[in-house]
Amino acid sequence: MDLVSMTSDRGDEKNENYLRRGKEMLEVTLKSIGDAVIVTDVAGLVTFLNPVAERLTGWPMADARHQPFERIFHIVNEHTGAPVDHPVARVLETGGIVELANHTILITRDGRRVPIDDSGAPVRLANGETVGIVVVFRDVTERKRAEHEHAWLAALVDSSDDAIASKTLQGIVTSWNPAATRLFGYEPAQIVGQPITTIIPPELHAEEVEILARLRRGERIEHYETVRVAKDGHRIDISLTVSPIRGEDGTVIGASKIARDITERKRTERLLREADRQKDEFLATLAHELRNPLAPICAAAELLKHAKGLAPELRAATAILERQARQMTHLVDDLLDMSRITSGRIRLHPEPIELAELLKSVIDTHRQSVESARHRVSFAQSSGPVHVSGDRIRLTQVFSNVLHNAVKYTPPGGGIGIGLRKEGGQASVSIRDNGIGIPPEMLDHIFEPFAQLDRSFERPDGGLGIGLTLARKLIELHEGRIEAKSAGRGQGTEFRIHLPTLAEIPAKRASGPREEPDLTLSCRVLIADDNHDAAISLSMLLQSMGHDTRVVHDGIEAVEEAEVFHPEVVLLDLGMPRLDGYEAARKIAGRPWAAATRIVAVTGWGQETDRQRAKEAGFHRHLVKPVDIDALRQVILDGSGRQQDLPS
């Protein structure tokens, strides 16, 4: 071999080594980069995969070498599933660098679907000859997930019916969704970059300062009801929820706000409040109008009851008259109590109560109706004295309502059993009858307002259907419960009332001998009522008790007659013509001779506001028509001093 040949051989060897070293360096480089790389020859056959490409495609280098590129790199459209032109073909076609469209999915050897981004480029020698194609691609699953979440949230915000906006901690608006535009009238271009106070009434700017301060502390403000101003100036009632937005380091950098238009709800609430007020006024007026005729009826019945020489049939008629008037008064009181309870205006006056004593009193009160129906009533107590803390009047009302139901729905000659026992820390009162019973489908409804048994179970005195509702609500106010049980039609009914007992039994107060009132004491009583029947019947009743009475029918006459008569007791109706009872009371109370005169309201108006107004006008007592005879007698006979406080 000559020198030239030897020199040539050494040069070729050097070039081969250089090329081999370059190829090895290129492969090492391609293997070490983070993206997947596939290299093909100009025929589209795979010559190289780096480890990332092996992992993503599922094809190891040994299996992929010399395979058609499209077999190794199987790509489809994310949404349609249609095949996508692979980059090798497009590079060969265009001769330049190409990138795939978005939404490309790589289907791996084992069938997995991997969203990718990729690009392809020709591999050229120094002379410009294309010797292969290199395809670089990457897994964009996380990016797609983030994009999807962002798009989903954006769509959610844009499609929300609630106004959604964001702002900086300086109160500058940074985003504004379509619902915010609909609600407030500002387009995003008009409000983004502007202070949020643009939509806040001037008098509420301090409210925004406080909200921003709370946000800086990381607090969330939920369902905050306030007012905002729309672009056209009209005010909007909104419910506002404001949440802090935190940066990557956890610090609060802004706030998102969700505003819901509650204008309609507020309007409905105002209408409901107005309807409730009108209902209360109607019930109060109804009660007043019903009590006015009831007053003379009850007074006349009381007068007849004590009349001497009354024929038996008239005495029986008087008893009927008295019972029905009492029932009507009971219905009126129940109606008003329902209104007070549902509006939260009823107040309890608790005191220690021995239940057996109270139950016996209730039985005595109903004795006349029980005897008229020829019922047998028994009372049994299985333990010693049982004490509860309760409002005596209201608990009496509860047990009376339940006992009244038992009497009403038990055929003549039936039996009613009342039991009392103590169960742990609870007092249990049972009122059981053998009457018509309650159908199973009605047991869940009998405590609902105005609930009645079906027509086949109606009684002539069916009532309003609120007695049991009232009983349940009153027992719940005492932190107790009431339940009903019945085996069905004709099987009777049992009501159980449970009340918490007192931990300590109160000591009985020592009482001296009771001083009986002097029933022969005569008082001068002035009666003023524009209802002539009410005034005259009350006068006749008081005269039958031995009192000296005068009757007038308006406030001016009351003041004039009082100046002449100097009454010891004045019974004033409140709604009289010319001068109402309030003003008449003030004028009479201001006279020097009236220092010891007791001024009593006798009226059909029995709301708490009526009692308070009467107290402020100087009345010593407030009696609701029809007046309880014992209460009236006590007022007349109480000559030892005034009642300074009106009873509730």
DSSP 313-329: HHHHHHHHHHHHHHHHH
Give me the pLDDT at residue 467, please.
79
Domain co-membership, 363 together with 495: yes
Question: Does residue 643 have a pLDDT over 50?
Answer: no
Beta strand 524-528 with 173-176: parallel, antiparallel or unpaired?
Answer: unpaired
Q: What is the average pLDDT across 396-414?
A: 89
Residue 420 covered by a domain? yes
- In whole angstroms, give the CA distance from residue 499 to residue 489: 29
Q: Is 185 left (phi over 0), alpha (psi -120 to 50) or beta?
A: left
CA atoms of 594 and 24, how far apart (whole Å): 125
pTM above 0.75, yes or no: no
Q: Whole-angstrom Cα distance, residue 329 to residue 324?
A: 9
State the chain's mean pLDDT as an integer.
83
Q: What is the DSSP letter of 393?
A: H
The confidence score (pLDDT) of residue 2 equals 43
Q: In which band, very low, low, confident or very high, does the pLDDT at 376 lie, cut at 50, 70 and 90? A: very high
CB 85 within 8 Å of CB 118: no
Nearest one of 382, 387, 381 to 507, comparing CA atoms: 387
Q: Are 162 and 259 in contact (CB under 8 A)?
A: yes
Please tell me the predicted confidence (pLDDT) of residue 455: 45
Cα 522 from chain centre: 57
Q: In terms of domains, do 191 and 238 share one?
A: yes
Length of the chain: 648
What per-residue confidence (pLDDT) applies to 231? 94
Question: Residue 636's pLDDT is what?
Answer: 83
**Would the pLDDT of 336 be above 90?**
no
* Domain containing residue 547: CATH number: 3.40.50.2300
Helix (H, G, I), strand (E, B) or coil at 236: strand
Task: Supply the DSSP string of 539-608, one letter for each residue.
Answer: HHHHHHTT-EEEEESSHHHHHHHHHHH--SEEEE-SS-SSS-HHHHHHHHHTSGGGTT-EEEEEES--SH
- Would you say residue 340 lies in a domain? no
Over residues 245-286, the pLDDT tens digits come to 888 888 999 988 989 999 999 999 888 888 877 877 787 778
Over residues 489-506, mean pLDDT: 87
424 & 557 share domain: no
Which whole number is the average pLDDT over 422-432? 91
Q: Is the domain of 134 the same as that of 166? A: no
For the ranges 83-87, 383-387, 417-421, 423-427, the lowest mean pLDDT is seen at 83-87
pLDDT-wise least confident of 146-155, 477-486, 497-506:
146-155
Q: Classify the C-alpha dihedral 119-120-123-129 as positive or negative.
A: negative
Asked if residue 369 lies in contact with residue 407, where contact means CB atoms within 8 angstroms, the answer is yes
pLDDT of 89: 80
Highest mean pLDDT pick, 194-198, 409-413, 442-446: 194-198
Question: What is residue 644's predicted lDDT score, i.e. its pLDDT?
Answer: 40
Question: Cα separation of 392 and 371, whole Å?
Answer: 25
Cis peptide before 350 (omega within 30 of 0): no
Supply the DSSP string of 148-195, one letter for each residue: HHHHHHHHHHHH-SSEEEEEETT-BEEEE-HHHHHHH---HHHHTTSB
Confidence of residue 3 (pLDDT cuts 50, 70, 90): very low
**Which of the listed residues 213, 233, 261 is the one where a domain comes to its end?**
261
Residues 570, 562 contacting (CB under 8 angstroms): yes
Q: Are 248 and 375 part of one and the same domain?
A: no
Q: How far apart are CA 327 and CA 325, in angstroms?
A: 5
At 648, is the pLDDT very low, low, confident or very high (cuts 50, 70, 90)?
Answer: very low
Query: Considering the domain boundaries, does residue 41 fall inside one?
Result: yes
Give the model's confidence band at 355: pLDDT under 50 very low, under 70 low, under 90 confident, else very high. Answer: very high
Residue 646 within any structural domain of the chain: no
Percent of the chain with pLDDT over 70: 85
At residue 27 the predicted structure's pLDDT band, cuts being 50, 70 and 90, is low
Q: Residue 618 domain-assigned?
A: yes
| Nearest CA-CA partner of 202 in 229, 163, 173, 236 | 229
Which pLDDT score is estimated for 464?
54
Fill in the DSSP letter of residue 83. B
pLDDT beyond 50 at 44: yes
Task: Quote the CA–CA distance of 247 and 205 in Å, as a whole number.
Answer: 27
Let me know whether 383 and 433 are in one domain. Answer: yes
The tokens describing 23, both together, are 């190829």
Model confidence pLDDT, tens digit, residues 554-593: 999 999 999 999 999 999 999 888 999 999 999 999 999 9
Are residues 239 and 370 located together in one domain of the fold?
Answer: no
The structural domain count of the chain equals: 5
Q: At 512, is the pLDDT very low, low, confident or very high (cuts 50, 70, 90)?
A: very low
Helix residue ranges, H only, 366-419: 367-372, 392-408
Task: Indicate if the pLDDT at residue 520 is higher than 60.
Answer: no
Report the distance separating Cα 312 and Cα 327, nearest Å. Answer: 23
297 and 411 housed in the same domain: no
Closest CA to 471 of 490, 499, 491, 492: 499
Query: Do 528 and 428 have their domain in common?
Result: no
419 domain-assigned = yes
Letter string b/e over residues 55-74, b meaning 16 or more CB atoms within 10 A of that residue's CB: ebbbbeeeebeebebeebbb
- The pLDDT assigned to 4 comes to 41
* Same domain membership, residue 553 and residue 438: no
- Rounded mean pLDDT, 447-460: 56
Q: Is the pLDDT of residue 162 over 80?
A: yes
Give the pLDDT score at 480.
94
Which structural domain, as residue segments, surrounds residue 553? 524-637
Answer yes or no: are the C-beta atoms of 401 and 467 closer than 8 Å.
Answer: yes
Of 5-14, 247-256, 517-526, 545-554, the range with the lowest mean pLDDT is: 5-14
Taking alpha carbons only, the member of 295, 318, 320 closest to residue 308 is 318
Instruction: State the average pLDDT over residues 321-350.
Output: 76
Q: Is residue 515 scored above 90 in pLDDT? A: no
Q: What letter represents residue 86's amino acid? A: H
Q: Determine, yes or no, domain membership for 511.
A: no
167 plus 285 within the same structural domain: no
Residue 64 has pLDDT above 60, yes or no: yes
Question: How far is Cα 46 from Cα 282, in angstroms, rounded to an integer?
Answer: 93
Distance, CA of 562 to CA of 528 (rounded, Å): 10
Last residue of a domain, one of 245, 261, 277: 261
Identify the pLDDT of residue 28: 64
For the chain, give the percent of residues with pLDDT over 90: 34
Cα 517 to Cα 231, 514, 521, 547, 637, distances in angstroms? 76, 9, 9, 14, 7
CATH of the domain at 79: 3.30.450.20
Name the DSSP letter for residue 45: B
Q: Are residues 313 and 185 in the same domain?
A: no
Q: Please report how many Cα atoms fall inside a 13 Å half-sphere around the Cα of residue 66, on the Cβ side.
A: 2
Final residue of a domain: which of 286, 301, 330? 330
Classify residue 402: in a domain, yes or no.
yes
pLDDT in tens, 588-619: 999 999 988 999 999 888 777 888 888 888 89
Q: What was the pLDDT predicted at 469? A: 84
User: What is the DSSP track for 487-551?
Assistant: -STTS-EEEEEEEEBPSSPPPPPP--PPPPP-TT---EEEEE-S-HHHHHHHHHHHHHTT-EEEE
Structure confidence by residue, pLDDT tens digits, 456-479: 444 445 555 677 888 898 999 999
pLDDT of residue 457: 45
Give the Cα-Cα-Cα angle 341, 342, 345 (nearest 5 degrees): 50
pLDDT score for 527: 95
Q: Residue 61: what pLDDT?
A: 92
